[in-house]
């Protein structure tokens, strides 16, 4: 028989039972939660960490070598010298960039009275405006001096470049290969200018992410980045041509047109070359001679495209142990010679990976431009820094190495890069 008072006893027990309050949070006003990186940024920690550690190690070794030799104290601040070892990082081309950042341009062609190799006085308009503009902008915003701002721009840009190299290689060979490629870019010959007052880091950052945007069919982004690259270096012509070629191929394919449309590739084709063309045109109009930029390069710096005649002259002299050629620097030239001899193998291995057209066109055009131009041969290793797709095959092959072997390799390479990638360029040659 049901109990008529059961409901009353239940309600009474419920009323007298202590109420369970929610468990208090462990957070207190004096304890802050650990900040978390966005999920999209986490994959970049390993490649950027490897890149930064390798670069810092090389820079420390470079500083030790400079202090040990002490030769930079005897050189003019503009030509590889200074009061402190870090002043060396702002010499040669770095001096010109700082002059532009401080004073702007004074475009003119001045003929030299004496005949010889140089018939036109060197002028700052030979150095493209994006890098010095960034230096001036950072200096105005942060209050840092021009030198500190220039180093900050180069260092930050180098990390953006390493991230771009990682992103490109990851798409083709996986995350491990991308991480290794970012580390390799820190220790390749010529890498010493990545943390100096030089425009290479800014350019490679733009070039890597431009190629990534093309691979992802983000044509508007690719066109804009190529436009900016054209304001940074004349060698951006290789990148601009590669973007245009990839865009033309996209327009030629019916399935690509149907999926991605026509406006994006057309935008990239039209916008990409505007930065380069507008600056060269401005120099011409400002000096009253449309070809002024090329005249200045040829007669003021002795740099011009000669279809490889100078490179061939260097190679045959190096083969017989002679230095009877223009701009001879024994140690720097020997390292660049070894890199040039390795190029056919690196290119063949890259092509074997069947990379996208934009990478192939950009790399081949960059190599042809470097080897086909009369310039300081010892700087070939610096001029080839933007050809980052050459790292694709070595990085992919090194993924088969275990962690300890990779640690030994990068430790050794980082230490020795302080000599071959830093000291050789700045002290045994002219960067």
What is the spatial distance between Cα 275 and Cα 289, in angstroms, rounded to a whole number? 19
Query: Do 426 and 82 touch, CB atoms closer than 8 A?
Result: no
Three-class DSSP category at 327:
coil
pLDDT of residue 33: 56
Helix axes 292-300, 274-287, angle to 10 degrees: 80
pLDDT of residue 41: 82
Query: Do 200 and 193 touch, CB atoms closer than 8 A?
Result: yes
Res. 13: pLDDT tops 50 = no
Hey, what are 210's tokens?
A: 């431009």
pLDDT of residue 3: 52
Query: Do 198 and 191 touch, CB atoms closer than 8 A?
Result: no
pLDDT of residue 32: 52
Query: Do 189 and 335 touch, CB atoms closer than 8 A?
Result: yes
369 Cβ partners below 8 Å, 6+ apart?
Answer: 235, 237, 238, 305
pLDDT of residue 34: 62
CA 168 to chain centre: 13
Average the pLDDT over 216-236 and give the result.
97
Three-class DSSP category at 304:
strand
Average the pLDDT over 243-253 and give the result.
94
Burial of 122 (0-12, 13-18, 19+ CB in 10 A): middle
| 217 DSSP 8-state letter | T
pLDDT of residue 137: 98
Instruction: Return the percent helix, strand and coil in the chain, to nearest 5.
Output: 70, 0, 30
More confident residue, 258 or 217: 217
Average the pLDDT over 319-345 and give the result.
95
pLDDT confidence bin for 255, thresholds 50/70/90 = confident
Percent of the chain with pLDDT over 90: 86
What is the spatial distance between Cα 204 and Cα 394, in angstroms, rounded to a whole number? 19
What are 125-135's pLDDT values in tens digits?
A: 999 999 999 99
pLDDT confidence bin for 372, thresholds 50/70/90 = very high
What are 148-194's pLDDT values in tens digits?
A: 999 999 999 999 999 999 999 999 999 999 999 999 999 999 999 99
Res. 17: pLDDT tops 90 = no
What are 32-83's pLDDT values in tens digits?
A: 556 677 777 889 999 999 999 999 999 999 999 999 999 999 999 899 999 9
Res. 276: pLDDT tops 50 = yes
pTM of the model: 0.90
Give me the chain's average pLDDT, please: 92
What is the spatial distance between Cα 296 and Cα 302, in angstroms, rounded to a whole number? 8
Res. 260: pLDDT tops 60 = yes
Stated as kind and residue range, the H or E segment containing 305 is: strand 304-305
43: left (phi over 0), alpha (psi -120 to 50) or beta: alpha
What are 290-318's pLDDT values in tens digits?
A: 999 999 999 999 999 999 999 999 999 99
DSSP per residue over 92-160, as a string?
Answer: THHHHHHHHHHH-------B-SS-SS--B---GGGS-SHHHHHHHHHHHHH---HHHHHHHHHHHHHHH
């Amino acid at each position: 028989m049901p109990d008529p008072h059961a409901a009353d006893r239940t309600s009474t027990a419920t009323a007298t039972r202590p109420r369970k309050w929610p468990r208090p949070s462990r957070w207190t006003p004096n304890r802050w939660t650990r900040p978390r990186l966005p999920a999209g940024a986490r994959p970049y920690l390993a490649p950027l960490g490897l890149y930064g550690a390798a670069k810092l190690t090389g820079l420390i070794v470079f500083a030790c070598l400079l202090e040990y030799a002490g030769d930079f104290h005897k050189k003019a601040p503009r030509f590889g010298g200074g009061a402190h070892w870090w002043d060396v990082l702002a010499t040669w081309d770095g001096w010109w960039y700082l002059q532009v950042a401080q004073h702007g341009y004074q475009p003119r062609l001045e003929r030299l009275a004496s005949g010889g190799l140089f018939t036109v006085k060197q002028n700052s308009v030979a150095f493209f405006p994006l890098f010095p503009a960034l230096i001036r902008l950072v200096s105005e915003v942060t209050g840092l001096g021009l030198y500190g701002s220039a180093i900050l721009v180069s260092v930050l840009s180098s990390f953006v470049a390493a991230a771009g190299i990682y992103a490109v290689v990851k798409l083709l060979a996986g995350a491990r290969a991308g991480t290794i490629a970012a580390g390799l870019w820190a220790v390749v010959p010529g890498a010493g200018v990545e943390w100096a007052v030089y425009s290479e880091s800014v350019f490679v950052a733009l070039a890597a992410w431009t190629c990534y945007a093309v691979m992802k069919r983000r044509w508007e982004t690719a066109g804009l980045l190529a436009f900016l690259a054209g304001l940074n270096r004349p060698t951006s012509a290789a990148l601009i041509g590669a973007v245009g070629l990839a865009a033309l191929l996209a327009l030629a394919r019916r399935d690509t047109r149907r999926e991605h449309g026509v406006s994006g590739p057309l935008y990239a084709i039209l916008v990409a070359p505007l930065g380069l063309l507008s600056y060269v045109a401005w120099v011409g109009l400002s000096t009253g001679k449309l070809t002024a930029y090329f005249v200045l390069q040829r007669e003021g710096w002795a740099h011009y495209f000669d279809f490889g005649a100078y490179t061939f002259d260097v190679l045959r002299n190096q083969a017989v142990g002679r230095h009877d050629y223009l701009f001879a620097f024994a140690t720097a030239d020997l390292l660049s010679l070894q890199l040039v001899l390795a190029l056919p193998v690196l290119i063949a291995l890259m092509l074997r990976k069947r990379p996208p057209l934009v990478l192939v066109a950009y790399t081949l055009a960059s190599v042809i431009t470097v080897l086909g131009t009369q310039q300081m041969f010892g700087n070939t290793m610096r001029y080839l820094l933007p050809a980052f797709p050459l790292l694709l095959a070595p990085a992919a092959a090194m993924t088969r190495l275990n962690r300890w072997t990779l640690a030994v390799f990068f430790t050794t390479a980082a230490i020795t890069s302080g000599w071959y990638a830093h000291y050789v360029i700045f002290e045994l040659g002219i960067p």
